[in-house]
Amino acid sequence: MTTIFAATEAPSPSTTTAPERFEVLLESQRDDCLRRRESALAEPIASNLDPVAMSRTATLLHVIAEIDDALARIAAGTYGLCVHCGGAIPEERLEFRPFAPSCVTCR
Ligand SMILES: [Zn+2]
């Protein structure tokens, strides 16, 4: 009899990346970016051409786009692989920046 998931045992931490864990992380970061973008846009000073507010919202949009890409890679089963060289992105890097599309070498 083969046990696929033993509920009482923690999965091996070092061998594989768990995309599900990062998916949760990415979703919450995406929500956070959307909220920060909304509050940035809601600031009266940010109304028109304040360059700081403009670049802040642009950065948030960029991050949201990267998060969307990362979620698409999770759906495609390629999450955690560098989009340039196809090598595995170290998990420490994904912990720090879960939407990182490339490894440190290709960054
Ligand atoms: Zn690479």
Task: Let me know if residue 104 belongs to a domain.
Answer: no
Count of domains in the chain? 1
Measured from the Cβ of residue 76, the count of other Cβ atoms closer than 10 Å reads 9
Q: Could you tell me the pTM of the whole model? A: 0.74
Is 51 within the bounds of a domain?
Answer: yes
| CA of 29 relative to ligand 1 center, distance in Å | 24
Q: How far is the CA of 104 from the centre of ligand 1 (A)?
A: 7
Q: Nearest-5° angle of CA 22, CA 27, CA 32?
A: 120
Query: Which stretches of the chain are assigned E, i.e. beta strand?
Result: none
> How confident is the model over 4-59, as pLDDT tens digits?
554 555 554 444 557 889 999 999 999 999 999 988 878 765 556 678 877 888 89
